[in-house]
Amino acid sequence: MKYLNFSDLRKKLGGRSRSAIYTDVEFGRLPKPLKLGGRLYWRESDIDSAMTDIFT
């Protein structure tokens, strides 16, 4: 299982802004991040699934 940090997530989402990403999280379009060791991470599989749901 691969985890994405915020920088990796931005790259995967085409360079979206921090505020746009957190808006998507707030409205449920993207999954909430996991807090590991004081940092936020997203499961890549969850992001892939969310992207599939958005674009289909």
Enumerate the domain spans of the chain. Answer: 3-55
SS3 37: coil
The pLDDT of residue 55:
67
Q: List phi, psi (to 5°) of 32.
A: -70, 145
SS3 1: coil
Round to whole Å and give the CA distance between 45 and 32: 13
For the chain, the distance separating the N- and C-terminal CA atoms, rounded to the nearest angstrom, is 24
pTM: 0.87
The pLDDT of residue 53:
79
Q: Which residues of the chain have pLDDT under 50?
A: none
Show the tokens assigned to 2: 């691969």
